[in-house]
Amino acid sequence: DAGVIQSPRHEVTEMGQEVTLRCKPISGHDYLFWYRQTMMRGLELLIYFNNNVPIDDSGMPEDRFSAKMPNASFSTLKIQPSEPRDSAVYFCASNIPGLAGGRNEQFFGPGTRLTVL
């Protein structure tokens, strides 16, 4: 199994540019999560989907952030326009809750390191 796939792994952009991060969850998983990790704020949940439908986007910081999941195997997180304070590592994770004896394990991708200059 390839695990959760994220692209790009690194992104450097200039303030004001649009940034699109991509995620392919593990096949068969019906939940997908987007997290942001920074030294100051730790690991924050931005939004999550169930069966391609957004369930909770209360963690999305501003209207500049948007996320979509057009099908079960693909999701995007878009920042438009980007700002230096958006610099962080963005993780995508997926799971099937209740699998494997109720472990509710979330499987994380390798992350995208975003730098906004």
By C-beta, is 70 or 102 nearer to other proteins? 102
61 binds other proteins (CB under 8 A): no
Given the structure tokens 């999550």, which residue do they identify? 48
Helix, strand, coil: what percent of the chain each, to 5? 5, 55, 40
Site residues (CB under 8 A) for other proteins, limited to 26-45:
31, 33, 42-45
Longest dimension (CA), the chain: 46
Contact 117, 11 (CB under 8 A): no
Nearer to other proteins, 41 or 83 (CB): 41
CB nearer to other proteins: pick between 42 and 70: 42
Return the residue of 86, 95, 114, 116 that touches other proteins, per CB under 8 A. Answer: 95
In the bound complex, what is the minimum distance in angstroms from residue 1's beta carbon to other proteins? 14
Identify the DSSP state of 76: E
